[in-house]
A and B are shown apart, each in its own frame.
Chain A
Amino acid sequence: MAGLLYKDYVSVFRIKKINAVVCLIIFTVVFLGARILLRGNEAEVYDIYGNNTAVSVIDILFVSYYVLLQFAFAIILNQINIKIIECDTKNKIKEYIGGLPVSKNTYVASKYIFIAIVCYVMISVSYLYGIIISAYCLPGMACDFCDLGMANTITLACIFLMVSSVELPLYLMLGKEKSNLFKTGFWMIVAFCGIGLLLFGDGAWIEEHINLANIVEWYKNHTNVILILQMISPVIVLGIYYLSYRVSCRLISKKEW
């Protein structure tokens, strides 16, 4: 299993001899070091709405890197499903593994575990950066932004685990090209249905039911339900992720390598 995980790590994060994760970690450490060295120099302060919302120029710089870090995570997680399958197909890994004492289930499990580990590491790095940056921020908007970033990291990870739960069985079963074709076809059908609904549907019904004001009102009246759902969503997502793993195992067991 460790070997399979290392293979996925190399295939996803080594881009032309450059280790993307190491680069990201070095950048993050440099930024954290710079933030600690620059402590107490928050002289230039933008006071936008009063004392409670003061934002220092230095804070903006480091919070901006936090945003970039989150974007980097989003990009990595978005590409990870395709990458691990693409590299296996390109290097004929499945054929190679077929000759080793590794079961199909272990191969499938390695993909799921690898993505889960990447999510865990990203949440941890994001929290680590957020904790240190927010500790040195002036109280106010920058601090709130860091808190929001930390809270959003779990949601982000949940979304990507959900996407992986759908995409992984597809990629494992059909391969990269057919899966992409399937995905494009699916979204085109959805888009055409949407356009068809707008063109030929009952406009009055849509206006009455799909109304932003109604949605906002519903949100306001059900904040507790939303909060609870948000809190327990990681468990639900992990449950779906596990189900997806079982489905993938079932699908791949019937497939010839």
Chain B
Amino acid sequence: MNQNNENNQQNIERKRLYIYLAFSFGLAWALFFIFIINGYRWNSEDRMSSVLGLGMLAPLLANLITRLITKEGFAMTGKDSLMLGISFKNKKWIYLCLACVLPWIYFEIFALLEIIAVPEAFDLEYYKHAEIDKVLVYLYPVIIIINTSIVSFAALGEEGGWRGYMMPKLMKLMSLPKAIIVGGIIWGLWHAPLTCIGHNFGTDYIGFPYLGIVIMCIFCTVIGIILTFITIKTESIWPATIMHAVNNGNPSILRFFINSEIFEAKISNILIQWTMLLVPLCIISIVCLIIMNKKKE
């Protein structure tokens, strides 16, 4: 009898997840395809790409629509909630600080790896190309952390869906490692239309766009571990939102001292550059995974 109840509950959760994914993919991909059909391609300097980036709001909208359909309710905190509340008690503030600082750390390590790979690209005067004062270069990560935390509605859109709805459902349906891998692949595939028009990797690389989609899935899985870890620890999506927003802001001081022309002349494949970014991310996510598994045991 208990087994039957459990199976029924799992079936219900699975159906809810499918509804959520249908809306999340449907809304975002509809927007992406309207732009793609109209001939737009990703160009970070084009203002239209920012509009395309508003597809990031689709997962949160999908979460709200699914809750409306499945009558799960809109509780702010607690079990099966939107996880929009935040508490600093029980040392939860540490995870919030970690969420702010972690992207800075792994982007600096990434830049350091770039310098180690191509030492001649390191140029102390290169920051002048960015037409930015040296003081501001040193303050750049802090500025990014502050500004992206305030203007984090797009990241809230993604985290409100992926960490706020999909991951809790996946964790109910399967074991934690499986849930993280499946969640990462889903999240990576969600970006596929954007990857096909040059988002993150451009269009000029071997295996375009399939290899880009694969790397995106790996990247989403790895960063998903850290984001899930922070969400579980704080029982809130806000720290994950802030980390996501800061991550998108690319906070790094060292990158201002890397001559991109020399670097790209040596390592032109953008996928190799992304693999280098994955190195520090993998280390951090393995630590998170170990802590999460220990806690579960």
> Is B truly associated with A?
yes
**Chain A contact residues, CB within 8 Å of chain B:** 1-2, 120, 123-124, 127-128, 131-132, 134-135, 137, 143, 154, 157, 224, 227-228, 231-232, 234-235
> Which of under 10, 10 to 19, 20 to 34, or 35 or more describes the interface residues of B?
10 to 19
A131 to B51, Cβ gap below 8 A? Answer: yes
A2-B77 contact in complex given A123-B150, A127-B153, A228-B136, C-beta closer than 8 Å: yes
User: How many angstroms between the C-alpha atoms of A1 and B136 in the bound complex?
Assistant: 40
A124-B133 contact in complex given A131-B54, A132-B54, A135-B48, C-beta closer than 8 Å: no
User: How many angstroms between the C-alpha atoms of A242 and B136 in the bound complex?
Assistant: 27
> B76 — which chain A residues lie within 8 A by C-beta?
2
B151 to A135, Cβ gap below 8 A? Answer: no
> B139 — which chain A residues lie within 8 A by C-beta?
228, 231-232
A127-B133 contact in complex given A134-B47, A231-B139, A231-B143, C-beta closer than 8 Å: no
Q: When the two chains form the complex, which single residue of A128, A134, A154, A231 contacts B54, counting CB atoms closer than 8 Å?
A: A128
In whole Å, how far is A116's beta carbon from the nearest beta carbon of chain B?
11
Per DSSP, are chain A's interface residues mostly helix, strand or loop, or mixed?
helix
Known: A123-B150, A228-B136. 4 other contacts (CB 8 A): A2-B76, A127-B153, A134-B47, A135-B50
B85 interfacial by beta-carbon distance below 8 Å:
yes
User: How many angstroms between the C-alpha atoms of A127 and B51 in the bound complex?
Assistant: 11
In whole Å, how far is A177's beta carbon from the nearest beta carbon of chain B?
34
In whole Å, how far is B11's beta carbon from the nearest beta carbon of chain A?
31
- Within B45-94, the residues touching A (CB, 8 Å) are 47-48, 50-51, 54, 76-77, 85
User: How many angstroms between the C-alpha atoms of A154 and B147 in the bound complex?
Assistant: 9
B135 to A234, Cβ gap below 8 A? Answer: no
Q: When the two chains form the complex, which single residue of B47, B85, B136, B151 contacts A224, counting CB atoms closer than 8 Å?
A: B136
In whole Å, how far is A159's beta carbon from the nearest beta carbon of chain B?
14
> B151 — which chain A residues lie within 8 A by C-beta?
123-124, 127, 154
